[in-house]
C-alpha cells in the first residue's frame, strides 16, 4: 500500500507544517485538502540573499569555508545545511584544515543531535547538519539555557538525574544569564546565519533550512552557495550560466550573483517537483486499482469473521461446481447415451464424498434436471453427515478457518501477480495503448479469477477437515544404574 492510500484510509485528515504552500497542488489533487497559510506570530525580518554560483565545486567549498571563518571570527553563529552525509563530512574536513571549531550532525549521532542543534545559536557556534538531522528543534539565539545548565552540571561531575533541586536551579539561573547576555550579542551580529551548500530538488527542503533562522521575529540571514557541477545545475540551466561566465571571462573563484539566476534555479526546482509529482501520481493511479480490490477483500474477510454460519455460502459454491461438471460431462441433453456418467462420478468424488446411493448406474436413465437435483441432494446429505461427524460447533469454526485460509493464500499470490503485471505493462505503450487502461483491464480479469479460485479452494477443502485427538506427552523413564 502506498503512503497516499494509507493516509486516505483515515476518516479525518489534517496537518500543519511550515512548508506546505509549495505542495498545495498535490495536497488538493491527492487528498482533497486545501492549504491555508497562517500569518506568523511576529514579523519575519530574516534577510534571504541571492544565490552565489561558482564555476566549480572546489571554488564553492573554498568560498563557504572563507564565509564561515569570517562570520565565526565576528562571533556570529552559523548553521550549514548539506544535502548528503558525504557532503557534510567533506566540509568538516575542510573546516578542520582551516582550524575552525564546529559540530557535525548527519543523523549518525541520534542521542546528541537534538542537543547539538539546540545550541547552534550560541555565540561563535558552527554547526553542519544534513536535511534529516535535528529537524523540529527550535534554535534559540544565545543558546538553550536548559541544555547549557545540563552541560555545566556534567562538567562538575554531577549526573542530571541525581542533581539536587538546588544544584539544578543554580546551574539553570547561571545558564539563563549567560544565554541572555550572548543573545544580545548574537542579535547585534545579525542573528543565526544559515548557509546552504546546494539546492535541493524540492523547494520545501530549502525553505525548511532557511526557516531555522529568523524564528519568532529574531534577526537572521540565509544564503545558498552553488556550483555549475551541482546535480540540479547540471540538469537545468547549468550550460546557460556557464556560457555567461565564459562570456564575462570571470575567474573560477568569482561567483555570479543576480536575481535572474536565483529565479532560474527556482524554476528548475518547480520542474523537478512537477516531474516527481507526476511520478507519485502515476504510482498512486496504479495503486488505486489494487486499493479497490484490497478494500473488497478485507470486507470479505470481516464478513467471514462476523458471520455465525457459512453453510449456505459453501453449498452455493459446491452446487455451482456440480452444475459445471454436469454441463461438462452431459453436454447433449437430448442424447443421454452420450453422457459420460463414469467420468462424472469420478469428478464428483474429487469434490465431496458421494453417498453410496449415488453411482453411475443410479444416475443412468434420469432426465438432466432430475440428475442435477439428485446430485445436489447427495451434496446436502454429505455436508450434513460431515457436520454431524465434526459436531456443529467445530464445523462452524472449520468453515471460517478454511475460508480465511483460502482468501489469504490466493490474495498473497494475487498481489505478486499484480506486481509482475505492472513491471511489464509499460511495453503495451509500443502498441499505442495506454498502460494504465490495460493494467486496469488485466487486473479486473485476474480479480474475477481470484474470486472463483477462493471459493473453489474453500469448497474442496471443507470435506477434508479431520479432528485429531491431542497427543499425550511421552514420559521418559531415566535408566537406573545396577
Most confident of 153-157, 225-229, 419-423, 445-449: 445-449
The fraction of the chain above a pLDDT of 70, given in percent, is: 87
**Looking at residues 426-454, what average pLDDT do you find?**
86
Mean pLDDT in residue range 263-281: 76
In 198-353, at which residue ranges do the beta strands (DSSP E only) sit?
Answer: 220-227
Q: Does 101 have pLDDT greater than 70?
A: yes
Name the least confident of 82-91, 156-165, 243-252, 255-264.
243-252
- Say what the pLDDT of residue 242 is: 64
Residue 91 pLDDT > 70: yes
Asked if residues 13 and 33 have their Cβ atoms less than 8 Å apart, the reply is: yes
To the nearest whole number, what is the mean pLDDT of the chain? 81
**More confident of the two residues 408 and 88:** 408
For residues 269-284, b (16+ Cβ closer than 10 Å) or e, as one string?
beebbeeeeeeeeeeb
Cell numbers for 126: 558552527
Q: What pLDDT is stored for residue 15 in this prediction?
A: 86
Q: Which of 55-64, 174-183, 442-451, 458-467 has the lowest mean pLDDT?
A: 458-467
Cell for 438? 490495460
Count other C-beta atoms under 10 Å from residue 435's C-beta.
16
pLDDT digits (tens, 9 = 90+) for 220-247: 888 888 887 777 777 765 566 666 666 6
The mean per-residue pLDDT over the stretch 468-475 comes to 57
Q: How does 119-147 read in b/e, with b if 16+ C-beta sit within 10 Å?
A: bbbbbbbbbbbbbebbeebebbbbbbbbb
Domain 47-257: give its CATH architecture.
3-Layer(aba) Sandwich (3.40)
The burial class, CB within 10 Å (0-12 / 13-18 / 19+), for 440 is: middle
Q: Would you place residue 252 in the very low, low, confident or very high pLDDT band (cuts 50, 70, 90)?
A: low
Region of poorest pLDDT, from 39-43, 111-115, 166-170? 111-115
What is residue 413's predicted lDDT score, i.e. its pLDDT? 92
Confidence grade of residue 411 (pLDDT, cut at 50, 70, 90): very high
> Does the structure show a pLDDT above 70 at 370?
yes
* Per-residue pLDDT tens digits for 301-349: 998 888 878 888 888 888 888 888 888 887 777 777 777 888 888 888 8
Q: How far apart are CA 309 and CA 393, in angstroms?
A: 10
CB 212 within 8 A of CB 48: no
SS3 220: strand
**pLDDT class for 408, splitting at 50, 70, 90?**
very high
Q: What's the confidence (pLDDT) of residue 482?
A: 46
Q: How does residue 460 score in pLDDT terms, banded at 50, 70 and 90? A: confident
Q: Rounded to the nearest 5 degrees, what angle is found at the Cα of 332, between the Cα atoms of 330 and 334?
A: 120
Under 8 Å between Cβ of 104 and 88: yes
pLDDT value at 477 more than 60: no
Q: How many CB atoms lie within 10 A of CB 206?
A: 24
Q: Which residue spans of the chain are classified as CATH 1.10.3060.10? A: 285-463
Residues of the chain with CATH 3.40.50.300: 47-257
Fold of 285-463: Helical scaffold and wing domains of SecA (1.10.3060)
Q: How does pLDDT run across 150-186, given as a tens digit for each residue?
A: 878 888 888 777 878 888 888 888 888 888 888 888 8
Model pTM?
A: 0.61
pLDDT tens for 118-150 read 777 788 888 888 766 556 667 778 878 887 888
Task: Return the number of other C-beta atoms located less than 10 Å from residue 9's C-beta.
Answer: 10
Amino acid at each position: 500500500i502506498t503512503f497516499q492510500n494509507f493516509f486516505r484510509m483515515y476518516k479525518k485528515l489534517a496537518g500543519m507544517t511550515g512548508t506546505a504552500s509549495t505542495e498545495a497542488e498535490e495536497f488538493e489533487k491527492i487528498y482533497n485538502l486545501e492549504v491555508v497559510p497562517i500569518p506568523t506570530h511576529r514579523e519575519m525580518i530574516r534577510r534571504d540573499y541571492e544565490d552565489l554560483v561558482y564555476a566549480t565545486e572546489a571554488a564553492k567549498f573554498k568560498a563557504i569555508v572563507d564565509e564561515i571563518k569570517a562570520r565565526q571570527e565576528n562571533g556570529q553563529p552559523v548553521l550549514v545545511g548539506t544535502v548528503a552525509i558525504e557532503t557534510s563530512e567533506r566540509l568538516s574536513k575542510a573546516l578542520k584544515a582551516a582550524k575552525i571549531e564546529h559540530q557535525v550532525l548527519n543523523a549518525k549521532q541520534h542521542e546528541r543531535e537534538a542537543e547539538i542543534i539546540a545550541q547552534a545559536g550560541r555565540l561563535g557556534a558552527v554547526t553542519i547538519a544534513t536535511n534529516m538531522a535535528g529537524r523540529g528543534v527550535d534554535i534559540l539565539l544565545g543558546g538553550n539555557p536548559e541544555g547549557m545548565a545540563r552541560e555545566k552540571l556534567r562538567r562538575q561531575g554531577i549526573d542530571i538525574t541525581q542533581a539536587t533541586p538546588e544544584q539544578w536551579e543554580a546551574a539553570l539561573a547561571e545558564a539563563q544569564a549567560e544565554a541572555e547576555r550572548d543573545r544580545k550579542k548574537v542579535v547585534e551580529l545579525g542573528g543565526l546565519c544559515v548557509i546552504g551548500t546546494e539546492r535541493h530538488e524540492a523547494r520545501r527542503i530549502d525553505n525548511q533550512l532557511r526557516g531555522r533562522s529568523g524564528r519568532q521575529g529574531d534577526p537572521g540571514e540565509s544564503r545558498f552557495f552553488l556550483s555549475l557541477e551541482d546535480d540540479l545545475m547540471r540538469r537545468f540551466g547549468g550550460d546557460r550560466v556557464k556560457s555567461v561566465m565564459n562570456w564575462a571571462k570571470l575567474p573560477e573563484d568569482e561567483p555570479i550573483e543576480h536575481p535572474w539566476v536565483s529565479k532560474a534555479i527556482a524554476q528548475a526546482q518547480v520542474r523537478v517537483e512537477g516531474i516527481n509529482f507526476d511520478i507519485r501520481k502515476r504510482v498512486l493511479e496504479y495503486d488505486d486499482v489494487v486499493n479497490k480490490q484490497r478494500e473488497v477483500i478485507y470486507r470479505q474477510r470481516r464478513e467471514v469473521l462476523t458471520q455465525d454460519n457459512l453453510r449456505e455460502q459453501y453449498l452455493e459454491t459446491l452446487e455451482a461446481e456440480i452444475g459445471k461438471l454436469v454441463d461438462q460431462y452431459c453436454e447433449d441433453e437430448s442424447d443421454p447415451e452420450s453422457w459420460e456418467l463414469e467420468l462424472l462420478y469420478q469428478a464428483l468424488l474429487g469434490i465431496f464424498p458421494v453417498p453410496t446411493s449415488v453411482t453411475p448406474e443410479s444416475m443412468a436413465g434420469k432426465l438432466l434436471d432430475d440428475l442435477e437435483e439428485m446430485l445436489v441432494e447427495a451434496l446436502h446429505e454429505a455436508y450434513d453427515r460431515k457436520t454431524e461427524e465434526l459436531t456443529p460447533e467445530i464445523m462452524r469454526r472449520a468453515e471460517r478457518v478454511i475460508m480465511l485460509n483460502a482468501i489469504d493464500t490466493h490474495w498473497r499470490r494475487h498481489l505478486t501477480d499484480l506486481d509482475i503485471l505492472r513491471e511489464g505493462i509499460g511495453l503495451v505503450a509500443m502498441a499505442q495503448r495506454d498502460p494504465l487502461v490495460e493494467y486496469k483491464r488485466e487486473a479486473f480479469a485476474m480479480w474475477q479469477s481470484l474470486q472463483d479460485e477462493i471459493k473453489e479452494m474453500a469448497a474442496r477443502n471443507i470435506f477434508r477437515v479431520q479432528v485429531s485427538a491431542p497427543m499425550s506427552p511421552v514420559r521418559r523413564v531415566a535408566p537406573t544404574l545396577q
